[in-house]
Amino acid sequence: MTHLVTVLGGDGIGPEVTDAAVRVCQAVTTADQITWTNASFGGNTFLEEGSAFPDDTQAACKESSAVLLGAVGLGETLPPGAKRPELGLLELRGALGTFANIRPVKPFPSLFDMSPIRPELLEEVDILFVRELTGGIYFGEKTRTATTASDLCVYTEGEIERIVTMATEFSRDRRKKLTSVDKANVLETSRLWREVTSRTAKAVCPEVELEHLLVDAMAMYLLKRPADFDVIVTENMFGDILTDEASMLCGSLGMLPSASIGEGTGLYEPIHGSAPDIAGQGIANPCGTILSAAMMLRMSLGQPDVANAIEAAVEATIDAKVLTPDLGGKATTKEMTDAIIKRLG
Amino acid sequence: MTHLVTVLGGDGIGPEVTDAAVRVCQAVTTADQITWTNASFGGNTFLEEGSAFPDDTQAACKESSAVLLGAVGLGETLPPGAKRPELGLLELRGALGTFANIRPVKPFPSLFDMSPIRPELLEEVDILFVRELTGGIYFGEKTRTATTASDLCVYTEGEIERIVTMATEFSRDRRKKLTSVDKANVLETSRLWREVTSRTAKAVCPEVELEHLLVDAMAMYLLKRPADFDVIVTENMFGDILTDEASMLCGSLGMLPSASIGEGTGLYEPIHGSAPDIAGQGIANPCGTILSAAMMLRMSLGQPDVANAIEAAVEATIDAKVLTPDLGGKATTKEMTDAIIKRLG
Ligand SMILES: CC(C)[C@H](C(=O)O)[C@@H](O)C(=O)O
Ligand SMILES: CC(C)[C@H](C(=O)O)[C@@H](O)C(=O)O
């Protein structure tokens, strides 16, 4: 069966890193297995077509097995109040029903020195973040007058159940520890979150050990004892903040992949931004996107062995010190990508 | 003029650390200057009197120039759904109108080794957090049914203006840099926050350089380049998370003071919790509360010189390695407090 993958290069360095990732995938898969198509998305698309997420892109994404996204954002050049490319991203997530954002945080030993955290704390770190992605304050009703604004945070039992079910299943296949993060001492949504999480985790897999932590405490423990966590599940806004904080354990943002999965088509993207300052120079770090493509092969395209091979090749390339400037090296995007392809075996 | 200070020891180690702080203050002020009274507050008070913040405590606090608080919380022993001691804290803040929570983050060089962050990143760190404390999602309307919950985040222009005015004034007297943190690419309250902040900071002091950062980016930069920040102003929930994250720059939570100020009586408390596990053993670190008392002397009691003397004595004591167990030493609360008093000169 041929899988269709839609590639949304996006803005800035986006198209450079998606090109690199597609080259890596094409080196280990055939045209029979995957058909790749490009579609327009993001800030430039907004300027050209008046929408960051046009209808034909939407249709292409929905028909695909997976979407590979580069990055969106033009810096500060958009008119204030414009429907910004970030909203393209929220619409994309909403359209695909990708209610779970999955971010592995496992620092590479040869990059420990790039992290602001002491290397001895990084040694056993292997965290999987599961962030709720289509609910909460991101999608609740908003109001605005000249002098007042509001955002409503809503969660339903069903929204919590499905994300916690997924997180519990991930823990079951890992170290069987699940940490749920909320602010149950203040928020009503967090109290519902805690109740539903306790009951769901137990029902899905009683062997998984569940702990509840408050978000402020989690922001500390993530730095103080990062090796203690296995799977961390949390709501949309807390997940946004904590996953970016956790990215610092890995040194460079450029290395980190993510998967957004849920009802159908999966969405795969590096966690870094569009970096307009280095766009077009051919020096962007392609690893975050290449590792996102590996997650795509594993989670949406049924090719776990190919995914493993790509991940091993990225690690071997890092260990061999073929590094882009953000990692302290001098390799171009193309050189680093070639070095990864060479190591695919 | 005699100032009245109400002391709320609270739960766990709370009374041990407020006792220590009062002893330090009494060593450098006279009974003519400050009258100290104790009042009941927190989890134990809730269990004994049915309210964490009884009326007579409320009256005493409102009459005082300042309130010195230890810590609240009994661990997991309260019945679920009970009106918890945290709510006592929110009520206390609401009753006193303390709309600004001020947290200095300036790591002590002799404690650099206790931080999970690399020491070379800590050298020039000197941040003042100004967190909005009586608005936003903490105080908005909450709803709950069997299957749905909601929390409303509201901000008004006036609430933003007063906190930003205060933050701008702090920056003016420091390094003239103000960083405002929001999530303006997603939240309507953040868009209002950003507009009002831009206009207010400019009106209050045009020489202060203002930058806006998104909360997720801030969670990274706080670790990657903490020395770049001077005053950071943000809304209630983001402030809760970011200040706790920032506390890790200082190594031990036990060292960190806070001030909550606003319409009248100021509230001063260490940022650590009630630590039920070590309560009653006489080994709690008193420094967070002693430094909070110093902030109180400076900000509510008009005694900046005494405040400076206490801060210098704490630093000298740390440098002399008279340390409680949380700091890697063997001193008791009493020994460390005595050592600080001895250095008050
Ligand atoms: C761009 C923004 C809307 C987005 C989010 O907050 O979800 C980003 O920060 C992310 O984490 O993917
Ligand atoms: C106890 C809790 C309600 C409180 C808060 O979130 O404000 C605490 O975390 C703090 O930061 O003082």
Residues A27-44 pLDDT 10s: 999 999 999 999 999 999
Which residues of chain B are under the pLDDT cut of 50?
A: none
Number of Cα atoms under 13 Å in the Cβ half of residue A171: 28
Closest atom of ligand 2 to B236 CA is 7
For B125-153, b where at least 16 C-beta lie within 10 A, e where not — what string? bebbbbbbbbbbbbbbebeeeeebbbbbb
Nearest CA to ligand 1 atom 6: A240
Cβ(A52)–Cβ(A83) below 8 Å: yes
Are the beta carbons of A244 and B150 separated by less than 8 Å?
no
Measure in Å the smallest separation between the Cα of B23 and chain A Cα atoms: 30
Residue B98 contacts by C-beta under 8 Å, 6 or more apart in sequence? B133, B134, B260, B261, B262, B263, B265, B266, B267
Residue A331: CB partners within 8 Å, gap ≥ 6?
Answer: A322, A323, A324, A339
Rounded CA gap, A231 and A169, in Å?
10
Is residue A1's pLDDT more than 90?
A: no
> What confidence tens digit (pLDDT) does each residue in A165-181 have?
999 999 999 999 999 99
Set of chain B residues whose Cβ sits within 8 Å of the Cβ of A136: none
As a whole number of Å, the end-to-end CA separation of chain A is 24
C-beta of B320 in contact with ligand 1 (< 6 A): no
Atom number of ligand 2 nearest to Cα B243: 11
Q: Rounded to an integer, what distance in angstroms lies between the CA atom of residue B95 and that of residue A43?
A: 46
Residues in chain B closer than 8 A to A148 (CB atoms): 154-157, 192
Q: Which H/E stretch holds residue A66?
A: strand A66-71
Overall pTM > 0.85: yes
pLDDT of residue A251: 85
pLDDT band at A78 (very low <50, low <70, confident <90, very high): low
Q: Is A112 part of the contact surface with chain B (CB cutoff 8 Å)?
A: no
User: Is the predicted pLDDT of residue A45 greater than 90, yes or no?
Assistant: yes
Residue ranges of B 78-107 with Cβ closer than 8 A to chain A: 84, 86, 90
> Chain B contacts of A152, Cβ < 8 Å?
150-153
Distances (CA, A) of A8 to A14, A66, A128, A289: 8, 11, 25, 12
Could you tell me the end-to-end alpha-carbon distance of chain B, in angstroms, rounded to an integer?
24
Nearest to B8 by CA among B260, B251, B237, B254: B260
**Nearest partner of B180 among B156, B158, B152, B202, judged by Cα:** B202
Write out the DSSP string of A177-231: EEEEEE-TTT-HHHHHHHHHHHHHHHHH-TTSEEEEEEHHHHHHHHHH-GGG-SE
Taking each helix axis as running N to C, give the angle between helix A85-96 and helix A55-63, from 0 to 180 degrees, rounded to the nearest 10: 40
A262 to A50, A166, A171, A211, A267: CA distances (angstroms): 28, 9, 17, 24, 9
Q: Which pLDDT belongs to residue A85?
A: 64
Q: Would you say the CATH fold of B126-250 matches that of B1-115+252-345?
A: yes
A106 is catalytic: no
Whether chain A has a CB inside 8 Å of the CB on B68: the answer is no
Amino acid at B267: L
Sheet of strand B3-10, all strands in order from the earlier edge strand to the far edge = B34-38, B3-10, B66-71, B266-270, B257-261, B100-105, B127-132, B231-234, B177-182, B209-214
For residue A132, list its beta bridge partners. A100
- Number of other CB atoms surrounding residue B86 within 10 Å: 18
Burial (CB count <10 Å: 0-12, 13-18, 19+), residue A55: exposed
**Residue with tokens 């414009």, as numbered in its chain:** A82
Determine whether the shortest distance from the Cβ of A240 to ligand 1 is under 6 A.
Answer: yes
- Cβ within 8 Å of residue A1, ≥6 positions away: none
> CB under 8 Å to A14, separation ≥6 — which residues?
A8, A42, A69, A70, A71, A72, A274
Burial A271-304 (b: 16+ CB within 10 A, else e): bbbbbbebbeeebbbbbbbbbbbbbbbbbbbebe
Q: Where are the beta strands (DSSP E) in chain B?
A: 3-10, 34-38, 66-71, 100-105, 127-132, 142-144, 148-156, 177-182, 209-214, 231-234, 257-261, 266-270
CA of A114 to the centre of ligand 1 (A): 24
Task: Give the closest of A137, A144, A224 to B153, CB-based.
Answer: A137
Q: State how far the Cα of A223 lies from the Cα of B253, in Å rounded to an integer.
A: 13
Report the 10 Å Cβ neighbour count for A17. Answer: 33
- pLDDT tier for residue A252 given thresholds of 50, 70 and 90: confident
**Number of the ligand 1 atom closest to the C-alpha atom of A240:** 11
Could you tell me which CATH number the domain at A116-250 has?
3.40.718.10
Closest residue in chain B to residue A83, using alpha carbons only: B185
- pLDDT score, position B84: 67
Q: Following DSSP, what letter does each residue of B308-323 receive, concatenated?
A: HHHHHHHHHHHHTT--
Rounded-to-integer distance, Cα A173 and Cα B14, Å: 42
Measured N-to-C along each axis, helices A215-224 and A236-247 cross at an angle, to the nearest 10 degrees, of: 20
Q: Quick one: pLDDT band at residue A86, thresholds 50, 70, 90?
A: confident
- For residue B58, what are the contacts with CB-CB under 8 A and spacing of at least 6? B92, B95
Which A residues 13-32 touch B at CB under 8 Å?
none
- pLDDT band for position A79 (50/70/90)? low
| Closest among B162, B101, B128, B136 to B235, alpha carbons compared | B136
Strand ranges in B176-247 using DSSP code E only, listed in sequence order: 177-182, 209-214, 231-234
CA of residue B236 to ligand 1 center, whole Å: 20
Active site residue A216: yes
Angstrom CA distances, A214 to A179, A191, A194, A241, stand at 10, 11, 10, 13
Q: What residue spans define the domains of chain B?
A: 1-115+252-345, 126-250
3-state secondary structure of A139: coil
Lowest mean pLDDT across A79-93, A116-130, B198-212, B266-280? A79-93
pLDDT band at A77 (very low <50, low <70, confident <90, very high): low
Flag whether pLDDT at A76 surpasses 80: no
User: How far is B16 from B68, CA to CA, in rounded Å?
Assistant: 13
B1-115+252-345 belongs to which CATH class? alpha beta
The angle formed by the CA atoms of residues B10, B267 and B91, to the nearest 5 degrees, is 70
Other C-beta atoms closer than 10 Å to the C-beta of B330 total 11
Least Cα distance to B288 among B267, B273, B305 occurs for: B273
Query: What is the structure's pLDDT at B74?
Result: 86
Residue whose CB lies within 8 A of the most ligand 1 atoms, among A130, A133, A240, for a mutation test: A240
Rounded to a whole number, what is the distance in Å from the CA of A231 to chain B's nearest CA? Answer: 20
Region of A136 please: left (phi>0), alpha (psi -120 to 50) or beta: left
The CATH topology of domain B126-250 is Isopropylmalate Dehydrogenase (3.40.718)
A335 Cβ below 6 A of ligand 1 = no
- Across the interface, whether the CB atoms of B188 and A156 are under 8 A apart is answered no
Distance (Å, whole) CA A199 – CA A180: 12
What pLDDT is stored for residue A84 in this prediction? Answer: 67
CATH code, A1-104+252-345: 3.40.718.10
**Residues, chain B:** 345
- Most informative mutation of B46, B67, B78, B89 for ligand 2 (most atoms within 8 A of CB): B89
For A311-334, how does the pLDDT look when each residue is reduced to its tens digit (9 = 90+)? 999 999 999 999 999 999 999 999
Asked whether B216 lines ligand 1 (CB < 6 A), one says yes
Among B236, B12, B170, CA closest to A237: B236
Q: In this predicted structure, what is the pLDDT of residue B266?
A: 98
Write the pLDDT tens digit of every residue in A191-248.
999 999 999 999 999 999 999 999 999 999 999 999 999 999 999 999 999 999 999 9
Q: Are the beta carbons of B151 and A188 separated by less than 8 Å?
A: yes
pLDDT confidence band for A345 (50 / 70 / 90): confident
CA–CA separation, B234 vs B128, rounded Å? 11
Taking 90 as the threshold, does the pLDDT of residue A13 lie above it?
Answer: yes
Chain A contact set for B157 (CB, 8 A): 146-148
- Non-local CB neighbours of A312 within 8 Å, separated by 6+ positions: A343
